[in-house]
Protein backbone atom coordinates (compact mmCIF):
# COMPACT_ATOMS: atom_id res chain seq x y z
CA UNK A 1 0.00 0.00 0.00
CA UNK A 2 2.73 2.43 0.99
CA UNK A 3 4.58 1.69 -2.29
CA UNK A 4 1.44 2.66 -4.18
CA UNK A 5 1.27 5.95 -2.26
CA UNK A 6 4.92 6.67 -3.10
CA UNK A 7 4.13 6.21 -6.81
CA UNK A 8 1.02 8.39 -6.60
CA UNK A 9 3.05 11.13 -4.94
CA UNK A 10 5.71 10.94 -7.65
CA UNK A 11 3.05 11.16 -10.35
CA UNK A 12 1.26 14.09 -8.72
CA UNK A 13 1.58 17.57 -10.20
CA UNK A 14 0.47 19.60 -7.21
CA UNK A 15 0.81 17.84 -3.88
CA UNK A 16 -0.25 19.56 -0.68
CA UNK A 17 -0.42 18.40 2.93
CA UNK A 18 -2.74 19.00 5.84
CA UNK A 19 -1.28 18.24 9.25
CA UNK A 20 -2.69 18.15 12.77
CA UNK A 21 -1.55 17.53 16.33
CA UNK A 22 -0.81 13.83 15.65
CA UNK A 23 2.25 14.71 13.57
CA UNK A 24 3.87 16.30 16.63
CA UNK A 25 2.86 13.53 19.05
CA UNK A 26 6.15 11.69 18.47
CA UNK A 27 7.95 14.94 19.42
CA UNK A 28 6.28 14.80 22.84
CA UNK A 29 3.58 17.42 22.23
CA UNK A 30 0.19 16.27 23.51
CA UNK A 31 -2.70 16.01 21.03
CA UNK A 32 -6.14 17.47 21.79
CA UNK A 33 -8.44 14.46 21.41
CA UNK A 34 -8.06 10.78 22.27
CA UNK A 35 -6.94 8.99 25.44
CA UNK A 36 -4.19 11.39 26.55
CA UNK A 37 -5.61 14.41 24.72
CA UNK A 38 -5.56 17.88 26.26
CA UNK A 39 -9.34 18.17 25.99
CA UNK A 40 -9.68 15.13 28.29
CA UNK A 41 -7.90 16.98 31.10
CA UNK A 42 -8.77 20.60 30.40
CA UNK A 43 -11.94 22.40 29.40
CA UNK A 44 -11.54 24.21 26.09
CA UNK A 45 -14.20 26.76 27.03
CA UNK A 46 -12.18 27.78 30.12
CA UNK A 47 -8.86 28.07 28.29
CA UNK A 48 -9.19 28.59 24.57
CA UNK A 49 -11.98 31.09 23.97
CA UNK A 50 -12.10 34.91 23.91
CA UNK A 51 -14.51 34.90 26.88
CA UNK A 52 -12.15 32.70 28.94
CA UNK A 53 -9.41 35.26 28.34
CA UNK A 54 -11.71 38.15 29.29
CA UNK A 55 -12.83 36.41 32.48
CA UNK A 56 -9.57 34.85 33.65
CA UNK A 57 -6.56 35.99 31.64
CA UNK A 58 -4.13 34.73 34.30
CA UNK A 59 -5.40 31.18 34.06
CA UNK A 60 -5.35 31.27 30.26
CA UNK A 61 -1.80 32.66 30.28
CA UNK A 62 -0.67 30.02 32.76
CA UNK A 63 -1.92 27.27 30.44
CA UNK A 64 -0.37 28.80 27.33
CA UNK A 65 2.99 29.35 29.04
CA UNK A 66 3.00 25.65 29.99
CA UNK A 67 2.29 24.70 26.40
CA UNK A 68 4.90 27.16 25.07
CA UNK A 69 7.49 25.58 27.33
CA UNK A 70 6.77 22.13 25.86
CA UNK A 71 6.59 23.33 22.26
CA UNK A 72 9.68 25.55 22.32
CA UNK A 73 11.77 22.69 23.73
CA UNK A 74 10.44 20.09 21.30
CA UNK A 75 12.38 18.81 18.31
CA UNK A 76 10.99 17.93 14.91
CA UNK A 77 10.54 14.20 14.28
CA UNK A 78 10.93 12.00 11.20
CA UNK A 79 7.56 13.15 9.82
CA UNK A 80 8.40 16.88 9.98
CA UNK A 81 11.79 16.11 8.38
CA UNK A 82 10.12 14.09 5.62
CA UNK A 83 7.84 17.00 4.69
CA UNK A 84 10.78 19.42 4.61
CA UNK A 85 12.56 16.97 2.29
CA UNK A 86 9.52 16.64 -0.01
CA UNK A 87 9.42 20.44 -0.29
CA UNK A 88 13.15 20.55 -1.13
CA UNK A 89 12.61 17.88 -3.78
CA UNK A 90 10.03 20.21 -5.37
CA UNK A 91 7.21 17.70 -4.81
CA UNK A 92 5.31 19.27 -1.91
CA UNK A 93 3.86 22.62 -2.98
CA UNK A 94 2.22 23.79 0.26
CA UNK A 95 1.88 22.48 3.78
CA UNK A 96 -1.25 23.54 5.61
CA UNK A 97 -1.11 22.91 9.34
CA UNK A 98 -3.58 23.26 12.19
CA UNK A 99 -0.67 23.12 14.62
CA UNK A 100 0.47 26.10 16.63
CA UNK A 101 3.92 24.59 17.16
CA UNK A 102 6.82 25.51 14.88
CA UNK A 103 8.19 22.03 14.26
CA UNK A 104 7.59 22.16 10.49
CA UNK A 105 9.71 25.32 10.30
CA UNK A 106 12.33 23.86 12.66
CA UNK A 107 12.62 20.89 10.28
CA UNK A 108 13.26 23.30 7.40
CA UNK A 109 9.84 23.66 5.73
CA UNK A 110 9.34 27.12 4.22
CA UNK A 111 5.96 26.85 2.56
CA UNK A 112 3.78 26.55 5.65
CA UNK A 113 0.33 27.99 6.28
CA UNK A 114 -0.72 28.08 9.94
CA UNK A 115 -4.51 27.93 10.01
CA UNK A 116 -4.71 28.27 13.80
CA UNK A 117 -1.85 30.72 14.38
CA UNK A 118 1.37 30.14 16.28
CA UNK A 119 2.64 30.06 19.84
CA UNK A 120 5.65 32.04 18.56
CA UNK A 121 3.44 35.10 18.15
CA UNK A 122 1.99 37.39 20.81
CA UNK A 123 -0.65 39.87 19.76
CA UNK A 124 -1.81 43.07 21.48
CA UNK A 125 -5.50 42.98 22.39
CA UNK A 126 -5.75 46.74 21.71
CA UNK A 127 -3.29 48.02 19.09
CA UNK A 128 -2.89 44.58 17.39
CA UNK A 129 0.91 44.90 17.34
CA UNK A 130 2.60 41.50 16.98
CA UNK A 131 5.70 40.25 18.78
CA UNK A 132 7.76 37.17 17.99
CA UNK A 133 9.00 35.15 20.97
CA UNK A 134 11.32 32.18 21.48
CA UNK A 135 10.57 31.56 25.14
CA UNK A 136 7.42 31.90 27.23
CA UNK A 137 6.85 35.38 28.72
CA UNK A 138 7.91 35.63 32.37
CA UNK A 139 5.20 38.07 33.45
CA UNK A 140 1.93 36.70 34.83
CA UNK A 141 0.09 38.97 32.43
CA UNK A 142 2.33 40.11 29.57
CA UNK A 143 1.57 43.65 28.34
CA UNK A 144 2.17 45.52 25.08
CA UNK A 145 4.18 48.78 24.84
CA UNK A 146 0.80 50.53 24.63
CA UNK A 147 -0.15 49.14 28.06
CA UNK A 148 -2.85 46.72 26.93
CA UNK A 149 -2.82 42.96 27.50
CA UNK A 150 -1.00 40.71 25.09
CA UNK A 151 -2.58 37.42 24.05
CA UNK A 152 -1.25 34.28 22.38
CA UNK A 153 -1.30 34.59 18.58
CA UNK A 154 -3.56 31.61 18.10
CA UNK A 155 -7.11 31.14 16.87
CA UNK A 156 -9.49 30.32 19.71
CA UNK A 157 -12.83 28.54 19.57
CA UNK A 158 -15.43 31.01 18.38
CA UNK A 159 -12.84 32.98 16.40
CA UNK A 160 -12.32 32.92 12.68
CA UNK A 161 -9.18 31.95 10.83
CA UNK A 162 -7.67 35.17 9.39
CA UNK A 163 -9.33 35.52 5.99
CA UNK A 164 -6.10 35.83 3.96
CA UNK A 165 -4.76 32.58 5.48
CA UNK A 166 -8.00 30.72 4.82
CA UNK A 167 -8.15 32.08 1.27
CA UNK A 168 -4.61 30.84 0.61
CA UNK A 169 -5.40 27.42 2.09
CA UNK A 170 -8.50 27.08 -0.10
CA UNK A 171 -6.52 28.21 -3.14
CA UNK A 172 -3.85 25.54 -2.62
CA UNK A 173 -6.43 22.86 -1.84
CA UNK A 174 -8.22 23.78 -5.09
CA UNK A 175 -4.99 23.37 -7.05
CA UNK A 176 -4.12 20.00 -5.47
CA UNK A 177 -4.30 16.73 -7.36
CA UNK A 178 -3.09 14.97 -4.19
CA UNK A 179 -3.42 15.92 -0.55
CA UNK A 180 -1.77 13.95 2.20
CA UNK A 181 -3.55 14.34 5.53
CA UNK A 182 -1.49 13.46 8.59
CA UNK A 183 -2.35 13.28 12.28
CA UNK A 184 -5.65 15.10 12.38
CA UNK A 185 -8.96 13.90 13.83
CA UNK A 186 -10.57 15.91 10.99
CA UNK A 187 -13.41 17.23 13.14
CA UNK A 188 -12.54 20.93 13.39
CA UNK A 189 -13.87 23.18 10.65
CA UNK A 190 -13.01 24.70 8.26
CA UNK A 191 -9.71 22.73 8.23
CA UNK A 192 -11.52 19.41 7.92
CA UNK A 193 -13.22 20.59 4.71
CA UNK A 194 -10.01 21.27 2.80
CA UNK A 195 -9.60 17.62 1.72
CA UNK A 196 -13.21 17.70 0.47
CA UNK A 197 -12.21 20.41 -2.01
CA UNK A 198 -9.49 18.10 -3.36
CA UNK A 199 -11.95 15.21 -3.59
CA UNK A 200 -14.49 17.34 -5.43
CA UNK A 201 -11.82 18.16 -8.02
CA UNK A 202 -11.08 14.43 -8.41
CA UNK A 203 -7.75 14.67 -6.59
CA UNK A 204 -6.40 11.91 -4.36
CA UNK A 205 -6.58 11.96 -0.58
CA UNK A 206 -4.04 9.94 1.38
CA UNK A 207 -4.60 9.70 5.11
CA UNK A 208 -1.94 8.79 7.66
CA UNK A 209 -3.39 8.14 11.10
CA UNK A 210 -3.28 5.15 13.45
CA UNK A 211 -7.02 5.70 14.03
CA UNK A 212 -10.04 5.94 11.76
CA UNK A 213 -11.42 9.47 11.26
CA UNK A 214 -14.44 11.01 9.51
CA UNK A 215 -12.13 11.48 6.53
CA UNK A 216 -11.38 7.76 6.19
CA UNK A 217 -14.57 7.21 4.16
CA UNK A 218 -13.51 9.53 1.40
CA UNK A 219 -9.75 8.91 1.54
CA UNK A 220 -8.36 6.93 -1.40
CA UNK A 221 -5.84 5.26 0.86
CA UNK A 222 -5.58 5.30 4.67
CA UNK A 223 -2.29 4.16 6.15
CA UNK A 224 -2.87 3.06 9.76
CA UNK A 225 0.62 4.05 10.85
CA UNK A 226 2.29 6.64 13.00
CA UNK A 227 3.34 9.75 11.14
CA UNK A 228 7.10 9.37 11.69
CA UNK A 229 7.33 5.80 10.45
CA UNK A 230 5.01 6.32 7.47
CA UNK A 231 6.47 9.60 6.23
CA UNK A 232 10.08 8.46 6.60
CA UNK A 233 9.33 5.28 4.63
CA UNK A 234 7.48 7.26 1.96
CA UNK A 235 10.35 9.66 1.35
CA UNK A 236 12.84 6.78 1.17
CA UNK A 237 10.66 4.97 -1.36
CA UNK A 238 10.27 8.15 -3.43
CA UNK A 239 14.05 8.66 -3.43
CA UNK A 240 14.54 5.08 -4.65
CA UNK A 241 11.99 5.33 -7.47
Residues 102-121 that bind ligand OAD (CB under 6 A): 116
- What are the start-end ranges of the E strands in 139-203? 150-154, 178-182
Closest approach, Cβ 93 to ligand OAD, in A, equals 21
Interaction of residue 219 with ligand OAD, rule CB under 6 A = no
**Contact assessment for residue 227 and residue 23, using Cβ atoms and an 8 Å cutoff:** yes
* Residue 118: how many other CB atoms lie within 10 Å: 20
Closest approach, Cβ 46 to ligand OAD, in A, equals 13
Write the binding mask 25 to 44 for ligand OAD: x where contact by CB under 6 A, - elsewhere. xx----xxxx--x-------
- What are the start-end ranges of the E strands in the chain? 15-19, 92-97, 112-114, 117-124, 130-132, 150-154, 178-182, 204-208, 221-223
Beta-carbon-side half-sphere exposure of residue 158 (alpha carbons within 13 Å): 10
Closest approach, Cβ 13 to ligand OAD, in A, equals 26
Between strands 178-182 and 15-19, the pairing is parallel
Torsions phi, psi for 109 (to 5 deg): -70, 140
SS3 assignment, position 96: strand
- What are the start-end ranges of the E strands in 155-220? 178-182, 204-208
Q: Under rule CB under 6 A, how many of the chain's residues touch ligand OAD? A: 25
Of 120, 151, 226, 233, the residue at the interface with ligand OAD (CB under 6 A) is 226
Stretch that binds ligand OAD, among 50-58, 163-171, 196-204, 210-218 (CB under 6 A): 210-218
Separation CA 158–CA 170 (nearest Å): 20
Of 52, 68, 169, 227, the residue at the interface with ligand OAD (CB under 6 A) is 227
Interaction of residue 24 with ligand OAD, rule CB under 6 A = no
Kindly list the catalytic residues. Answer: 116
Cβ closest to ligand OAD, residue 13 vs residue 75: 75
Interaction of residue 98 with ligand OAD, rule CB under 6 A = yes
Interaction of residue 12 with ligand OAD, rule CB under 6 A = no
Residues 179-198 that bind ligand OAD (CB under 6 A): 183-185, 188
Q: Tell me the Cα Rg of the chain.
A: 18
Which residues in this chain contact ligand OAD in the complex, by CB under 6 A? 20-22, 25-26, 31-34, 37, 48, 98, 116, 155, 183-185, 188, 208-211, 213, 226-227
Amino acid sequence: MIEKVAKQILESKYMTALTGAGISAESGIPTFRGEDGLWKKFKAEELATPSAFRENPELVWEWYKWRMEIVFNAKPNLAHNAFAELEKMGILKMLITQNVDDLHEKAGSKKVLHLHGSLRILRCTACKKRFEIDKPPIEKLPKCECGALLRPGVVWFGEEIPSEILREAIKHASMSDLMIVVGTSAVVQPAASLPLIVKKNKGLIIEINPEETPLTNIADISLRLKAGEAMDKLVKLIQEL
